[in-house]
Structure 1
Amino acid sequence: MPTPSTPRRPQRDHPVADAAARRLPSRLGAYGALWITLAIGAAFVTLMTAAAAEIYESLAEKDDLAAVDRPLLALVMTWRSPVADTAVTWFTNTGSVIGMSIIALAAIAVLTRIRRSWRPLLLIGAAGAGSVAMTIAGKDLIGRARPPMADAVPPYETSPSFPSGHTLNATAIIAVIAYLWFLQLEARAARAWMIAGCAAYVFLIGCSRIYLGHHWFTDVAVAWALGLGWAALVVLSHHVFNTVRRVRREQDPKRL
């Protein structure tokens, strides 16, 4: 006799999302709440990027960055070998614009089919768009030079160094993908392994940029922070969306 499947546990509302949703105008729909939250988040992340630029300029004037960046680059240069250089170059390319686009599109295709919803497209797309915007803004604001080509592994890159675009994009996009997969998985072990794998990938993408001499450590560290911050705001927007839908259903079951 077949046994009934275990019902999926309801997603808990985030306290911040719940408070925000209950203060939104009653005429505002769930998608409107989602877009407003993302817009507020985008403004906040813009301020974060500007603040990171100010911090960088302050430290650069005191030459404090060199005390961290140069010794680390010198250290990783001692670990290089032809085989390792080739492997790390291949791996870092998975975090490029093309590589992350392929990963994002594959995740969107799978998650959209599984969840039977277009929200994965919106959330992952928002993660990617925000990370690209922060990368462009940071590079334009700072214009920091990359490590010398003599210390880098080819192929060389010539765009400004701060922040690391590979790291920022990978952090934001993979974090949101991990969040969406987390909602799909039931087993704690599967969730733990998935989070560990995603975290390791993001960490190693950043390390690969330093190893290849394409970025300074501080470029990567700021990219990790900005990427996680933006991903957190995208996740919060999803919680606001879900909370608004729940509240509106409670008020009027016929409305979304």
Structure 2
Amino acid sequence: MTDAGTTAQTGTTPHDRQIGRRDLTEWRSRAGQRLASRHQSLAQRIGARRALVATLAVGGGIAVAATAGAAYIYDGVTGRDGVESLDGPALARAKTLRSPAVNGAAAAIAHVFGPVAMPVLTVGAAVAFAVRDRRASPVTLLVAAGAGSLAMTLLGKDLIKRNRPHRHDAIPPFEKSPSFPSGHTLNTTTILGVLAYLLALRQERNGPQVAIIGAAAGTTITVGLSRVLLGAHWFTDVAVGWVTGAGWLSMIITSHRLYLSTQDDDTVAE
């Protein structure tokens, strides 16, 4: 990888630090600059990798706390004419779209992005990045994404214990865990988001970056909507999965940007 001195002399930015024309190591806001400065000080004391793990741990704690807060707020308004008013109409609309082909496709999506396949995808991607790049940071990000999204899902379900739609409104196989939030949606938002981010960083042209990020976003939306179509979740379960997953994803990306700002080589073999 091009080192910091060479980059400064040539005025170029390594392509694996850019999304579009944006250099991810540049912080334009004062808050971002202060955060980067403090992270730099921490990295100088404990090392860049440990600082990355510490930042992810703090971000994960914030994300879990935010999930708990969102769960309590949700629990307070769900029985009123608030968010719950979306769920009945959304499910009714989804039922009108059902057909053998559509139902089969939605069931396949649920299987591919379910609690078995997603961990396999996460581990497989982590191994692939470690072998290809010889770097520890992609593995750290993917593990954090999976662990954090799992913790947020389990916490939300344990706090709210919301019932899923009635079985006569759902398509088998029926699920037994609480409905809130949608684990499929939250996990897909976070894990596919991190994968798309890591893959986009490795593209030198804007076109492939846009295609990768767009595909991940489209897949995430499709997974969420498929859960409503199957009657496995209420729409608000899915919406909260999107929001909390995007929040955790933004923290992971911010942590990695801080990491990129403090070092130039994170080779696994070191």
Instruction: State the TM-score, normalizing by the size of structure 1.
Output: 0.88
Establish whether residue 42 from structure 1 lines up as the match of residue 60 from structure 2.
Answer: yes
Q: 1:176: which partner in 2?
A: 194
Whether 1:66 aligns to 2:84 is: yes
Name the counterpart of 1:154.
172
- Equivalent position to 2:128, from 89, 105, 110: 110
Q: Which residue of 2 aligns with 1:251?
A: none
Matching residue of 1:9: 15
Counting only pairs closer than 5 Å after superposition, residues 2-151 of structure 1 correspond to structure 2 as 8-9=14-15, 11=17, 12=23, 13-15=25-27, 16=32, 18-24=36-42, 26-151=44-169
Structure 1 residues 50 and 14: CA distance shift in structure 2, 3 A: farther
Q: Choose the corresponding residue for 1:165, options 171, 177, 183.
A: 183
Opposite residue 237 of structure 2, the aligned amino acid is: D
Counterpart of 2:258?
240
Give the 3 Å change call, closer, same or farther, for CA 109–143 of structure 1 in structure 2. same
Q: Give a deviation string over 1:172-226, Cα, whole Å, max 9, x none.
A: 1011111100110111111111111111111100000000000001000010111
Contact between 1:73 and 1:216, CA under 8 Å: does it hold in 2?
Answer: yes
Q: What CA distance in whole angstroms lies between the structure 2 residues aligned with 1:223 and 1:20?
A: 31
Give the deviation of 1:19 after TM superposition: 2.9
Q: CA deviation at 1:60?
A: 1.8
Amino acid at match of 1:200: G
Change over 3 Å in CA distance of 1:111–1:63 after alignment to 2: same
Specify whether residues 242 and 7 from structure 1 end up closer, same or farther in structure 2 by C-alpha distance, changes over 3 A only.
closer
Deviations 1:60-98 (A, max 9, x none): 242423311001100110111122111110112111111
Q: Is the 2:180–2:237 contact (alpha carbons within 8 Å) kept by the matching residues of 1?
A: yes
1:223 pairs with one of 225, 237, 241: 241
Out of 211, 218, 241, the position equivalent to 2:229 is 211
In 1: Cα distance, 2:66 partner to 2:242 partner: 13
Q: Deviations over 1:43-74 (max 9, x none)?
A: 11122111211221121242423311001100
Q: Which runs of 5+ in 2 are unaligned?
A: 1-11, 18-22
Displacement of 1:37 in angstroms is 0.5
Alpha-carbon offset, residue 230 of structure 1: 0.7
CA contact (8 A) 2:16 2:202 kept: no
Deviates more, 1:98-107 or 1:6-15: 6-15
CA distance, structure 2, for counterparts of residue 65 and residue 239 of structure 1: 35
Cα RMSD (Å): 2.1
| Aligned-partner Cα distance in 2 for 1:178–1:40 | 23
Confirm or deny: 8 A CA contact 2:16 2:201 kept in the other structure.
no
Partners of 2:49 and 2:134 lie apart in 1 by 16
Structure 2 length normalisation: TM-score?
Answer: 0.84
Quote the sequence identity (%): 39
Listed one character per residue, the Cα deviations across residues 11-58 of structure 1 (whole Å, up to 9, x for unaligned) are 231523523323427422112211210111011112211121122112
- Farther-moved stretch of structure 1 (20-29 vs 84-93): 20-29
Give distance in 1, aligned partners of 2:208 and 2:43.
39
Query: CA distance change for structure 1 residues 111 and 210 in 2, over 3 Å: closer, same or farther?
Result: same
- In structure 2, C-alpha distance between the alignment counterparts of 1:192 and 1:136, rounded to whole Å: 32
8 Å Cα contact 1:127-1:231 kept in structure 2: yes
